A and B are shown apart, each in its own frame.
Chain A
């Protein structure tokens, strides 16, 4: 009950389609890092969308700091302190870097605070400061990643939900991305990560959550999951028989 985020018996799906996430429960404490892993179609991204409010759960509740999030719009959930970084780069490639940073700080009403946060983010990622007038989509992949994670430091959310951060990235960028995530985690922000690259994801996290066919398979400290032989089996499909 005291956890920062608690997902209780959530069932979710799209349109009139079948349930993608079945009766799923999970909790996340302050400054904790959890990584959800599982094969394609396990419902990992769907779960994050349900938490972020983009998708309304069919049943079950999600509590954040004791408040029920059901019926809240995505922008309201974000303003409460849950930042969602969607799959693909969470930036606006048609806007300039400066405008993207203003977008990051959109939910901050206090103009002076927003400006100082943006300044602080530029301090962390100096390359963005040099390219303020450039259209974000024309920057290199690594610079765009910096812009994505600058958001976490601009709005200082309590939780950050990251959907497949390494998807479609070159190996060197994957390294960079995970170092950004570690940076976010070390600043005390709780992270809920969904990742295909299980090993990288687990190395970054405190806990590993294994999900398959919309259900929780098990949850263990990340280093134990890494050593667990059954993880390998899971990806090969043995979990279905269990």
Chain B
């Protein structure tokens, strides 16, 4: 943790922008996969449209920055809230169904938002919003995002841990097993499901706001693509969905493999091929993911066993 806080010091010794970029990219995806884990891992609702909230957060803060000049670092908190409100509204509709129907509804949701933002002239249509770059020098320009995403990551891990050990999380995990059995134990399953969905949207929305500022542009074809959602789902499953440390490990492993292949084979899109291959292998042989499989075999080292 301390080493992560101190990492930007390397900038004093040379230009390590690539390292900084990779680490903050990991922060982003750990935030997203940990948040996704709340509804997808504990709750068992596989949402493949969760980057809708990422996009909503980015657009909200980006729009305010472009029009009123208020930095997304201030509005990220509200971007998360907007995402949560959307999460509630969407959850009330889509969480009535489960299993494959829910998955399809989540994909449809993403397509609706993509089309909507492609056509919405106020926020730039398909061109999106271009944001001013910050005034820091090249070495230091990533640092604000680095810390913002670090904070979000820590919050997301804490949230995931808290939910895992709370009564709310227990209800959520029982719902993932059987909704009727859960309801006759006295759980208001509707509220629990929708709350979990909205909760998982919060930090994703806030992360979207920061990421929009980092990229300096917010566009539908960057934010509303299924690749982002697929990545968070895959990272979570690879690490072990329904565990606290799973999404963290899964994200690190996947980003590492992705970068390794990109660095060695260039931008040949082999990385996407290997991502797919890895997923097939994981689902076939380790459906519980890295952490889940180790836990089942009682091989999980104690420092990774957070529940």
* B96 is an interface residue with CB less than 8 A from chain A: no
* B183 is an interface residue with CB less than 8 A from chain A: yes
Across-interface contacts of A155 in B (CB, < 8 A): 186
- The DSSP consensus for interface residues of chain A is mixed
Across-interface contacts of A104 in B (CB, < 8 A): 185
Across-interface contacts of A107 in B (CB, < 8 A): 185-186
Bound-state CA distance A93–B181 (Å) is 11
Are A90 and B181 in contact, CB atoms less than 8 angstroms apart? yes
Chain A's nearest CB lies how many Å from the CB of B290? 19
- The DSSP consensus for interface residues of chain B is helix
Are A86 and B180 in contact, CB atoms less than 8 angstroms apart? yes
Are A106 and B177 in contact, CB atoms less than 8 angstroms apart? no
* A75 is an interface residue with CB less than 8 A from chain B: yes
* B156 is an interface residue with CB less than 8 A from chain A: no
Q: What sequence of 0s and 1s flags, for each residue 168-187 of chain B, a beta carbon within 8 Å of any chain A beta carbon? A: 00110110111011111111
Bound-state CA distance A95–B44 (Å) is 14
Are B184 and A95 in contact, CB atoms less than 8 angstroms apart? no
- The chain A residue with its CB closest to the CB of B191 is A75
Across-interface contacts of B182 in A (CB, < 8 A): 103
**Total interface residues in chain B, CB < 8 Å:** 18
Are A86 and B170 in contact, CB atoms less than 8 angstroms apart? no
Size class of the A contact interface (CB-based, 8 Å): 20 to 34
Chain A's nearest CB lies how many Å from the CB of B43? 13
* B167 is an interface residue with CB less than 8 A from chain A: yes
* A187 is an interface residue with CB less than 8 A from chain B: no
* B222 is an interface residue with CB less than 8 A from chain A: no
Partner of B167, one of A85, A93, A106: A106
Are A54 and B167 in contact, CB atoms less than 8 angstroms apart? no
* A84 is an interface residue with CB less than 8 A from chain B: yes
Across-interface contacts of A238 in B (CB, < 8 A): none
Chain A's nearest CB lies how many Å from the CB of B152? 29
Bound-state CA distance A237–B274 (Å) is 63
Q: What sequence of 0s and 1s flags, for each residue 144-174 of chain A, a beta carbon within 8 Å of any chain B beta carbon? A: 0000000100010000000000000000000
Are B186 and A106 in contact, CB atoms less than 8 angstroms apart? yes
* B189 is an interface residue with CB less than 8 A from chain A: yes
Partner of A54, one of B170, B180, B187: B180
Are B177 and A93 in contact, CB atoms less than 8 angstroms apart? yes
Bound-state CA distance A90–B188 (Å) is 17
* A74 is an interface residue with CB less than 8 A from chain B: yes
Bound-state CA distance A107–B186 (Å) is 5
* A222 is an interface residue with CB less than 8 A from chain B: no
- The chain B residue with its CB closest to the CB of A82 is B184
Across-interface contacts of B170 in A (CB, < 8 A): 95, 99, 102-103, 106
- The chain A residue with its CB closest to the CB of B178 is A92
User: Contacts A99-B170, A106-B171 known; A75 to B177 CB distance under 8 Å?
Assistant: no
User: Contacts A102-B167, A106-B167 known; A74 to B174 CB distance under 8 Å?
Assistant: no
Supply 7 A–B pairs (Cβ within 8 Å), ascending by A: A75-B185, A78-B184, A85-B184, A90-B181, A95-B170, A106-B186, A155-B186
**A interface vs B, CB < 8 Å?**
52, 54, 73-75, 78-79, 83-86, 90, 92-95, 99, 102-104, 106-107, 151, 155
